[in-house]
A and B are shown apart, each in its own frame.
Chain A
Amino acid sequence: DAKTTQPPSMDCAEGRAANLPCNHSTISGNEYVYWYRQIHSQGPQYIIHGLKNNETNEMASLIITEDRKSSTLILPHATLRDTAVYYCIVSKYGGSQGNLIFGKGTKLSVKP
């Protein structure tokens, strides 16, 4: 079973920030928080990951709470192409040793 909890769906207006929450209360000290997304049944796409510090890249920002029990993925200016299922995954390896545990994710719908 997935070690994360995410809302099943969210809506966001185009151009606005999309904030996707994730709870991972049983995360271990050596586990990272990874985010992937899957656009319309394509292969999953890596977005960002972090251990305990907030992270930012060209796609998104990741905010991890101080106790590391939850995190938020932020898409600063959502576009229609960001409509996808977003998966929050805790992993020691992020995919480089296989066995990523995908839950049901959050289906984000960006609306014009």
Chain B
Amino acid sequence: NAGVMQNPRHLVRRRGQEARLRCSPMKGHSHVYWYRQLPEEGLKFMVYLQKENIIDESGMPKERFSAEFPKEGPSILRIQQVVRGDSAAYFCASSPTRGGGNTEAFFGQGTRLTVV
């Protein structure tokens, strides 16, 4: 059973370009979460999605950032008009269920975005 797959692992974009980060959850998982980690910082929650629905986007910047998890295909985190401050590691996690207090999240290896 493959783990959470993220691609690309490294992404370089010039200021003003768009960045698209992809995440395929573990097989059987229908919940996806995106986190951002700035250098030397802890992870910060961005958004929680189920198939075709955004459940919680309280951590998403108000502009330029969007996320989707379509019925078919991977979850996409999209950053428009990137700026240098967007340079960070972006981690995706997935889990199989919403309820209960004993379900952990499984994280991918991350996408390292560098804006030049």
Contacts and interface: CB of A to CB of B under 8 A. Distances in A.
Interface residues of B, number: 34
Nearest to B108: A43
Interface residues of A, number: 28
B85 interface: no
Interface in B44-59: 44-45, 47-48, 55-56, 58-59
B107 A44 contact: yes
Contact of A96 (B41, B105, B110): B105
B98 A97 contact: yes
B105 A30 contact: no
B110 A43 contact: yes
A105 to B, nearest CB: 6
Contacts of B97: 96
Interface string B94-115: 0111111111111111100000
Contacts of B48: 97-99
A24 to B, nearest CB: 15
Interface string B27-49: 00001010100000111110110
Interface string A66-100: 00000000000000000000010000111111111
Contact of B42 (A30, A45, A104): A104
B69 interface: no
A43 B103 CA distance: 17
B59 A100 contact: no
Interface of B: 4, 31, 33, 35, 41-45, 47-48, 55-56, 58-59, 89, 91, 93, 95-110
